[in-house]
Amino acid sequence: MDLHGDPDFEAPITTSVIAGVDRELRPNLAVSLNYTYGSTSNWRATPWFGVTRDDYVLASTLTGTIPNGGPTYSVPVYSPVAAVVAANGNSRIQTNFDGYATRYNGLEGQLIKRMSNKWMARVSASWNNATDRYENDVNSLGNPTSLDTDPIITGGQYAPRSAGSGQGDIYVNAKWQLNVNGVYELPWDSEVAGNLFGRQGNPFPVFRQASLGLDGAQRVLISPALDEFRFNDTWNFDLRFAKRLVTDHVNARVEFDLFNVFNGNVDLQRERNAASPNDYRLNQILSPRILRIGMRLTFR
């Protein structure tokens, strides 16, 4: 199969606007608030050369009930007309995804207590809304079938699917996130620190594998929306204790780090294929409680 290059093919275009305000409430205590708007268009697409939206026909309809108490579904599956594809050389074209863009609106606030009187702290919270915008009701293959990476839902959540390093099936999208951390200096050159992190659970789009004719086997989205189902919210708390030891020739720092103090076991990844015998099988959870002991040495 040949891949033509569109002479008008352009790089993606991203527009970002950030507006914020910072204010010192009192010595060593400050607050900030930032708003971010972003838009990206001209995404890459590889549709069939010479094939239009009218050259796709209904191939089948996927019906059933989403497992684990989900709703019923009826999702049309389309395929390109083979004769039209052949008449245009059985080739694709690398071009821009016309009529598609992503939008982002985000709000982030921070409260910062700088180190003074033996302690410091920072509280940050954010609200994020990343959405898809479709105009032509097609995905990046030019096919009107809704996929788990191209749901074709204007205003639906934009959630890129991770890949690589064994983490290839996580949809990154959390509408809210919270982080609180702080340090307190103890006597005898020691300190204690903590970090609390929380965020909304990532989306869990349910799909079924189906043939789209010449577009091959694809993961067809059968959830009403990409984020119709989400994992439980993720919460994690870490602690650190550190002690500094000083001699005539060596500075040493002993550190005790306790990760996931409460040993939370939040689901991070499950089998999403509704037609698989392993549907909803747990594939990954939050790392368990871990104690790490370390030492840093500095010679003088």
Burial 221-247, CB ≥16 within 10 A → b, else e: bbbbebbbbbbeebebbbebebeeeee
pLDDT band at 261 (very low <50, low <70, confident <90, very high): very high
CA distance 49 to 102: 25
Task: State both tokens at 272.
Answer: 């999403």
Task: Give CB contacts under 8 A, 24+ apart, made by 146-154.
Answer: 146/75, 146/220, 146/221, 147/207, 147/218, 147/219, 147/220, 147/221, 148/205, 148/207, 148/219, 148/220, 148/221, 148/226, 148/272, 149/219, 151/205, 151/221, 151/225, 151/226, 153/225, 153/226
- Residue 96 has what pLDDT? 95
Task: Tell me the per-residue pLDDT of 40-71, one tens digit each, with 9 for 90 and over.
Answer: 999 999 999 999 999 999 999 999 999 888 89
Judged by average pLDDT, the poorest of 93-102, 231-240, 279-288 is 279-288
Domain with 62, as residue range(s), is: 3-299
pTM of the model: 0.87
- Residue 48 has what pLDDT? 95
Whether 158 shows a pLDDT value over 90: the answer reads: yes
Task: Tell me the per-residue pLDDT of 112-157, one tens digit each, with 9 for 90 and over.
Answer: 999 999 999 999 999 999 999 999 899 999 999 999 999 999 999 9
- Secondary structure of residue 224 in the 3-state scheme: coil
Among 93, 104, 97, 91, residue whose Cα is nearest residue 11 = 97
CA distances for 185 relative to 29, 100, 257, angstroms: 18, 52, 16
In the numeric block, the tokens 């204010």 are attached to 23
pLDDT band at 163 (very low <50, low <70, confident <90, very high): confident
Whether 167 shows a pLDDT value over 70: the answer reads: no
Task: State both tokens at 60.
Answer: 């089948």
- Secondary structure of residue 170 in the 3-state scheme: coil
Task: Tell me the per-residue pLDDT of 71-90, one tens digit each, with 9 for 90 and over.
Answer: 999 999 999 999 999 999 99
Question: Residues 151, 140: contact at Cβ < 8 Å?
Answer: no
Task: Tell me the per-residue pLDDT of 7-25, one tens digit each, with 9 for 90 and over.
Answer: 889 999 999 999 999 999 9
In the numeric block, the tokens 């275009």 are attached to 13
In one letter, which amino acid is 204? Answer: F
- Residue 248 has what pLDDT? 77
**Overall domain count for the chain:** 1
Among 41, 283, 74, 285, residue whose Cα is nearest residue 158 = 41
Q: What angle is formed at CA 223 by the lines to CA 221 and CA 224, rounded to 5 degrees? A: 115
In one letter, which amino acid is 15? Answer: T
Task: State both tokens at 208.
Answer: 């079924």
- Residue 165 has what pLDDT? 59
Q: Which residues contact 196 (CB under 8 A, 6 or more apart)?
A: 178, 179, 180, 181, 235, 236, 237
Task: Tell me the per-residue pLDDT of 267-291, one tens digit each, with 9 for 90 and over.
Answer: 999 999 999 998 889 988 999 999 9
